[in-house]
Structure 1
Amino acid sequence: GADLYLAYDAVKTGELQAQGIVDAIHHGSLVLINGPRNDSNAEAAHRGVFNILTPLVDSKGIRILSDYWPNSTNSEEPAKVIEDLLNSGNKIDGVIAFSDLQAEAVIRTLALHRLAGKVAVAGADADLAACQRIAEGTQTMTVYKPIEQIAAKAAELAVYMARNERVTVHNAIEDGTYRVPYYELTPIGVDKTNLRETVIKDGFHLEEDVYRNVLPH
């Protein structure tokens, strides 16, 4: 079994996504496209989304049109969910997608209805294509999980463990046999205001790539 499990806080990811969309639209109708149901990160992100949305749904400021759990990770399902809702005459104000790949499918479908950039869309992973869409204005935000941060933390904890020093961890998870210490790192919400200070500054993506499709101002 593993000695230590390092991951980004998936609940926080969902909270960042929901807050990003609420900040963008304030009130209106939302669609949630979740990750695969058997993925513990998808379940945790969904909890995070509802940590933010539940009080707003209760106060009737936010309405959830669809809380969709796809059967696979391919992009056809998110596209079809959006297509069906739009074809039935629903007005969609915002979409929270578990991944940037799903966000891409959502935005492609919105574009066919001339709604790209008019509907707030959140994804996660800070893919280059998603960062480009943020720069272009068709995606509202994504969630960045800095690789450097996880590598540095892994190295630091490996040194402690090699010296048999105690490691302070946040949680423990079951790996079937053992309870494995679990260290959570905090993900970062990225939108058009902080692309340069996050993914570009860290060298995760190059500035010329992120802004490739945007005319120079």
Structure 2
Amino acid sequence: MKIAPRRAAVVAAVLCLAAGASACGIAKSAGSRAVATGSTAAIKIGLLLPETKTTRYEQFDKPLIEARIKALDPNAAIDYYNADQDATTQQTQVDTALTKGDQVLILDAVDAKAIQSSVQKAHQAGVEVVAYDRLAQGPVDAYVSFDNTEVGRLQGQALVAAVGGRAGGGEIIMVDGSPTDPNAGQFKAGAHSAIDGRLKVAKEYDTPNWDPNNANQEAAAAITAVGAQNVLGVYSANDGMAAGIATALQAAGLAVPLTGQDAQLDAVQRILAGTQTMSIYKPYKPEADTAGTMAVDLAEGRAPGSSVAPTTATSGSGTTVKAQLITPTVLTKENIRSTVVVDGLYTVAQICDAAHAADCRAAGLQ
């Protein structure tokens, strides 16, 4: 019978008292994962990511989290799930993870509110939940993300600076993220803290599922409504949507400032080409490493310490959670080499393909 991790320490202690001090010493030396039989068992962790439209999850988050878990415990078993942006699918995947005996879930919620019942179900089963990148509602045990309000502020600040002295001569369009993602609301609030009173917002959209096609349609409709000559710039909450928006701007013959987030490869190339102004570089490895560490700690019966979770965050359901909030970096043409290249996110060869070779040479990357 599987023993829930938050109860395992108590069970092990009782067994040790019954078996004697020498048995306790053996259990401790075996890695503190004693089960009721006195043997050890590999920890089982479920990794649940939200979607594939944003390239980061499959390309970076998944392999980095898995590598960290394996570095800490080579025998750990990892069950991977991707919900393809479907909240109902993710709820089913949580059920599957619980049935398979996963002791800890690393959960990046499709819909932070809708997943609350699943988080509660895991809690009742004695399974800890590490909220990854987005803070799910319900009794979450630990959380790692970036300072999302600061992300939005940096985006808004960059847009204001790029528009500069033309601020009084037109309006901007704001394309925000998915209303089911709590991060999107924080990005939006941070952006408005920098934009309000400095730039006039003509149109603003909450974009379901962070969908680039929706963002393209929203931007095209806004350009038509506002008039291309009156558009000073576009706030895009992430790079995926910026790709769709850049296409709409090009179709309208506009070359105006455009923000982004996630430092996607195509966004880095747009920054070099001048069709996107900036992105937010959020180094995935520190976030992934923290999630993996939190999950292994919890699976082995340890609460994340202050070095792993130095602060707290409060979810939409009012739960206060131990947290790590990592500081983001503004990515521009000037610091591509010192950020995404030096950190190994992309090589110069990946960035500077044939279509972008001239832009790379002009930026000093080649």
Asked if these proteins are the same fold (TM beyond 0.5), I'd say yes
**Aligned residue for 1:59?**
none
**Aligned residue for 2:147?**
9
Give the aligned residue type for 1:120.
P
Classify 1:177/1:44 alpha carbon distance in 2 versus 1 (closer, same or farther; 3 Å).
closer
**Aligned residue for 1:112?**
251
Equivalent position to 1:85, from 222, 241, 249: 222
- Return the index of the structure with the highest Cα Rg: 2
Preserved CA contact (<8 Å) 1:94 1:119? yes
Give the aligned residue type for 1:94.
G
Equivalent position to 1:207, from 340, 348, 355: 348
Alpha-carbon distance, 1:177 to partner = 9.6
Kindly indicate whether structure 1 or structure 2 has the higher relative contact order, using CA contacts under 8 Å at least 6 residues apart.
1
Q: Deviations over 1:14-49 (max 9, x none)?
A: 011111111111224211101111210000000100
| TM-score relative to the length of structure 2 | 0.53
Equivalent position to 2:175, from 10, 33, 39: 33
Q: Extract unaligned runs of 5+ from structure 2.
A: 1-127, 130-140
Give the aligned residue type for 1:20.
A
Alpha-carbon distance, 1:198 to partner = 0.6
Equivalent position to 1:98, from 234, 237, 249: 237
Greater fraction helix:
2
Superposition pairs of residues 1-217 of structure 1, within 5 angstroms: 1-2=128-129, 3-26=141-164, 27=167, 28-56=170-198, 62-88=199-225, 89-90=227-228, 91-115=230-254, 118-154=255-291, 166-167=305-306, 169-174=310-315, 179-212=320-353, 213-215=356-358, 216-217=361-362
Preserved CA contact (<8 Å) 2:312 2:320? no
CA root-mean-square deviation: 2.5
| TM-score relative to the length of structure 1 | 0.86
Classify 1:214/1:22 alpha carbon distance in 2 versus 1 (closer, same or farther; 3 Å).
farther
Identity of counterpart residues, as a percentage? 27
Greater shift in the superposed pair: 172-181 or 203-212: 172-181
Classify 1:164/1:182 alpha carbon distance in 2 versus 1 (closer, same or farther; 3 Å).
closer
Classify 1:177/1:8 alpha carbon distance in 2 versus 1 (closer, same or farther; 3 Å).
closer
Classify 1:165/1:76 alpha carbon distance in 2 versus 1 (closer, same or farther; 3 Å).
closer
Q: Extract unaligned runs of 5+ from structure 1.
A: 57-61
Preserved CA contact (<8 Å) 1:136 1:214? no
Preserved CA contact (<8 Å) 2:149 2:189? yes
Alpha-carbon distance, 1:164 to partner = 6.1
Q: Deviations over 1:28-78 (max 9, x none)?
A: 42111011112100000001001111232xxxxx11011111234322222
CA distance in 2, matches of 1:133, 1:37: 26
Alpha-carbon distance, 1:124 to partner = 0.6
CA distance in 2, matches of 1:182, 1:165: 9
Preserved CA contact (<8 Å) 1:31 1:66? yes
Classify 1:143/1:106 alpha carbon distance in 2 versus 1 (closer, same or farther; 3 Å).
same
Give the aligned residue type for 1:111.
Q
